Amino acid sequence: MTFTDRPPRVIIIGGGFAGIAAAQALKGSGARILLLDSQNHHCFQPLLYQVATAALAGPDVAWPIRYVMRGRPDVTVLMLAVEGIDTARKTVKTRVVDIAYDFLIIATGAAHSYFGHDDWARLAPGLKSIDDATLIRSRLLAAFEQAEASVDPLARARLLTFVIVGGGPTGVELAGAISELARRTLPPEFHRVDPARARILLLEAGPRLLSAFPERLSTYARRALERMGVEVRTEAAVAEVRPAGAVAAGEEIPAGVVLWAAGVRASPAANWLGVAGDDAGRIPVGPELTVAGFPDVYVVGDLAHVTGPDGVSVPALAASAKQMGWYAGRAIRRRLRGERPRKPFRYRDHGNLATIGRKSAIVKLGRLELTGFVGWLFWSVVHVYFLVNLRSRLFVAISWIAAYFTFHRGARLITR
Amino acid sequence: MTFTDRPPRVIIIGGGFAGIAAAQALKGSGARILLLDSQNHHCFQPLLYQVATAALAGPDVAWPIRYVMRGRPDVTVLMLAVEGIDTARKTVKTRVVDIAYDFLIIATGAAHSYFGHDDWARLAPGLKSIDDATLIRSRLLAAFEQAEASVDPLARARLLTFVIVGGGPTGVELAGAISELARRTLPPEFHRVDPARARILLLEAGPRLLSAFPERLSTYARRALERMGVEVRTEAAVAEVRPAGAVAAGEEIPAGVVLWAAGVRASPAANWLGVAGDDAGRIPVGPELTVAGFPDVYVVGDLAHVTGPDGVSVPALAASAKQMGWYAGRAIRRRLRGERPRKPFRYRDHGNLATIGRKSAIVKLGRLELTGFVGWLFWSVVHVYFLVNLRSRLFVAISWIAAYFTFHRGARLITR
């Protein structure tokens, strides 16, 4: 392949952590880059649970992709859904036009999996986008409002029961934040029901919460949640989600809101390539993050199934997505100069964090483990640091400092 | 009427400026107050256009009504839509239960009127709620995105044409803000179209913009808008709104977005009372803001048609709504003490403001008229001052200062 007559064309599908990192790694490469996404914004998913629980506004944690790519005349951003890929003709098919590429980076991420029960999605929303977060916020706040306006004690008890399915980081963070909303923020403002008496149940099918963390930290998180009044149930797989509750471990739990933080399923990009995905729909890639048979197609982020040299799968995290995106961008850059990538992709584990609530988080950094207030401070600083611009850093920091002292949550809007 | 055996019951319907002011005026009155609204939040409508044009986030200009009423054990806030009023039994009918009152304050405000063409509402949204503002924001930003992704020059020109129907304060503010979005904020981030070449048309059926202001200020506003590239057309009544544009003054205008800032129609509360509304659906009230035949029913805010002692109708403004709400609350307070209101309601005109864009506003304060930068500074300070809490004041002030220097708009999200 030579590019003497025209700039090489790179298409990146997806403006999440992986896609943005790929575009950044291609800066100065001489390639003409097209970044496609069906949304107009990049979303900082690790803080979405704070939008869902009314602590932050959507615009605090999401920015237009073209704003993130400002100052990059080599990157064209289009809000366009991809409809398919023609690997033979090397084109990406969109609603508007087919677009040719020399290199393709697919970074379309993952959505929630309801284990074959897609009808549960409506009843128990998951948390992957700003729209999801706004919907969850409205449902949580509406449950408290309906309980306050209800004259039926049974309905009130149901409305003030919140079930979170899945004990990973998102489930733990949601449970902690809902507990604070119910026990700290709302009580002074309600007269007819006591939000502090809300039941918050965190259901995990496996034997412990946060299975990606060491057992000591899982135990810490469970105790911290229980001190906050969250009922944690392990070995409690959900058998059914209904309009007015859930069934788990043989028990029917009437609930006002059910939230889904359990399975994850990759986007349908495997179909576009005509390759077999793994059981979560992820596309297996080789050590250079390309797809077998398509050396010019890179798959990165939550969509990629990467097995490290140690045989361990790379976890689906913001950090790994960024590393993969960056690796793919750099690999293409080297190939444009006629070189091969220096080394296969290797995930560098910089640590893993999860927050449980105000003043409490768990942090695993190599051999260092932090918990409690120190963990929470570390978590806060890291998350503010990674936000895209000064405005967001300022607004998020002010919101957190205010919430720390007053328990105030500044975004308690019920919207359609 | 005696209340020796139980506290008197006041129901306020509507948590806008008028309803909140009424509740505040009843503080310490000994009444048990019930504040009903179909939404959970009070919205600062004068800044909604900034949410619609991505300068502010929804939570910056809206707060839960029960948060506004915190620290008031005498006020119960319920998010409940009212379905009717039984004036004979003195009860308010809701979905859940009928609730008895001794005094009733109706403050349900107004919605947009499409002059009998209700099917235009979907095509040309108006700006009355946070949901409206979020919808308009998504349509505006999506038009620019679709233009950038389009390969058809005609479609691009249509998508980058914005029509605002109605030359009152909301129409003027929207036109100015859309012009800044198009000409200042977006151009550095688009590569295939030039947002600065967007056409922005402000259509007014009457002979001049801002008819509530003196003619000199109308002329100033028109010139200021024209300098910002807005095409102002007066005597241009809209004959039709279509999915892809509008027809006005015999001309077909293909447009990407049509917005409605024209007629206003009161909420259907006149039907609840079985009284005849005026031609805008407003309820005529007497000098003490009560409805003829119902001495215990007060109507305040945009819903009320009040004629002052000079024969002039009180304008529908945030300031007049607050004054009416306060008057009704105080009047009830006096009646609970067995006194009559001291004087009939009289609207005190503290002035009238409208902003045209960054660095430009018009202000009419008695005989004082301000324009340009001085007017804009005055407008900004007044609006920040009237926000409900410190967080909002801080966030709005920071957003405006940042926007002043960088043209950045921090809330550019397209959501469902």
> B92: distance to nearest CA of chain A, Å?
14
% of residues, chain B, pLDDT over 90: 82
% of residues, chain B, pLDDT over 70: 99
Asked if B399 lies within 8 A of A391 by C-beta distance, the reply is: yes
The pTM is what? 0.95
Please report which confidence band the pLDDT of residue B4 belongs to, taking 50, 70 and 90 as the band edges.
Answer: low
Catalogue the E-assigned strands of B30-123. Answer: 32-37, 41-43, 62-64, 75-79, 82-86, 91-94, 98-100, 103-106, 110-112
Residue A406 phi/psi, 5° resolution?
-120, -10
Strands across the sheet with B82-86, in order?
B82-86, B91-94, B98-100
Asked if A66 lies within 8 A of B415 by C-beta distance, the reply is: no
Portion 113-132 of A in contact with B at CB < 8 A: 130-131
Does residue B334 have a pLDDT over 90?
A: yes
Least confident of A212-221, A274-283, A400-409, B12-21: A400-409
CATH superfamily of B9-112+264-336: FAD/NAD(P)-binding domain (3.50.50.60)
Domain ranges in chain B are: 9-112+264-336, 114-262
Stretch A135-164: mean pLDDT, rounded? 97
Mean pLDDT, all residues of chain A: 94
* Residue carrying structure tokens 């048979």: A293
Helix, strand, coil tally for chain A in percent (to 5): 35, 25, 40
Partners of residue B41 in chain A, C-beta under 8 Å: 412-414
Interface test with A, best of B35, B40, B50 (most A CBs within 10 A): B40
pLDDT digits (tens, 9 = 90+) for A21-40: 999 999 999 999 999 999 99
Using a CB–CB cutoff of 8 Å, tell me whether A150 touches chain B.
Answer: yes
Which residue of chain A comes nearest to B401, CA vs CA?
A391
Using a CB–CB cutoff of 8 Å, tell me whether A28 touches chain B.
Answer: no
Does residue A404 have a pLDDT over 90?
A: no
Q: Is A173 a catalytic residue?
A: yes
Our measurement of the distance from residue A352's CA atom to the centroid of its chain's CA atoms, rounded to an integer in Å, reads 14
Least confident of A31-35, A182-186, B410-414: B410-414
What's the Cα-to-Cα distance from B183 to each of A111, A120, A204, B396, rounded to whole Å? 37, 45, 52, 22
CATH superfamily of A9-38+80-112+264-336: FAD/NAD(P)-binding domain (3.50.50.60)
Please report which confidence band the pLDDT of residue B200 belongs to, taking 50, 70 and 90 as the band edges.
Answer: very high
pLDDT digits (tens, 9 = 90+) for B136-189: 999 999 999 999 999 999 999 999 999 999 999 999 999 999 999 999 999 999
What's the Cα-to-Cα distance from A213 to each of A261, A370, B204, rounded to whole Å? 17, 12, 63
Which amino acid makes up residue A338? G
pLDDT digits (tens, 9 = 90+) for A42-53: 999 999 999 999
Residues of B forming the active site: 173
Does residue A403 have a pLDDT over 90?
A: no
The fold of the A120-262 domain, in CATH, is: FAD/NAD(P)-binding domain (3.50.50)
Stretch A313-320: mean pLDDT, rounded? 92
Mean pLDDT, all residues of chain B: 94
Stretch B218-247: mean pLDDT, rounded? 96
Using a CB–CB cutoff of 8 Å, tell me whether B60 touches chain A.
Answer: yes
Does residue B410 have a pLDDT over 90?
A: no
Stretch B302-311: mean pLDDT, rounded? 90
Residues 6+ apart with CB under 8 A from A358: A180, A184, A376, A403, A404, A407
Does residue A1 have a pLDDT over 80?
A: no
Beta pairing, strands A110-112 & A304-305: unpaired
Q: For residues A33 and A20, is the Cβ–Cβ distance under 8 A?
A: no
Stretch B204-213: mean pLDDT, rounded? 95
pLDDT, residue A3, reads: 55
Partners of residue B151 in chain A, C-beta under 8 Å: 96-97
pLDDT, residue B1, reads: 47
Partners of residue B414 in chain A, C-beta under 8 Å: 39-41, 79
pLDDT digits (tens, 9 = 90+) for B46-101: 999 999 999 999 999 999 999 999 999 999 999 999 999 999 999 999 988 999 99
pLDDT digits (tens, 9 = 90+) for A281-298: 999 999 999 999 999 999
Report how far residue B34's alpha carbon sits from residue B22's, in angstroms, rounded to the nearest whole number. 11
Which residue of chain B comes nearest to A70, CA vs CA?
B189
The fold of the B114-262 domain, in CATH, is: FAD/NAD(P)-binding domain (3.50.50)
Asked if A414 lies within 8 A of B189 by C-beta distance, the reply is: no
Please report which confidence band the pLDDT of residue B3 belongs to, taking 50, 70 and 90 as the band edges.
Answer: low
DSSP string of B321-385?
HHHHHHHHHHHHHHHHTT---SS--------EEEEEETTEEEEEETTEEE-HHHHHHHHHHHHHH
Interface test with A, best of B150, B185, B189 (most A CBs within 10 A): B189
Does residue B341 have a pLDDT over 80?
A: no
Does residue A344 have a pLDDT over 70?
A: yes
Q: Is the ipTM of this complex over 0.85?
A: yes
Residues 6+ apart with CB under 8 A from B244: B158, B254, B255
Using a CB–CB cutoff of 8 Å, tell me whether A151 touches chain B.
Answer: yes
Same fold, A9-38+80-112+264-336 and A120-262: yes
% of residues, chain A, pLDDT over 90: 82
Residues 6+ apart with CB under 8 A from B159: B143, B144, B146, B147, B150, B256
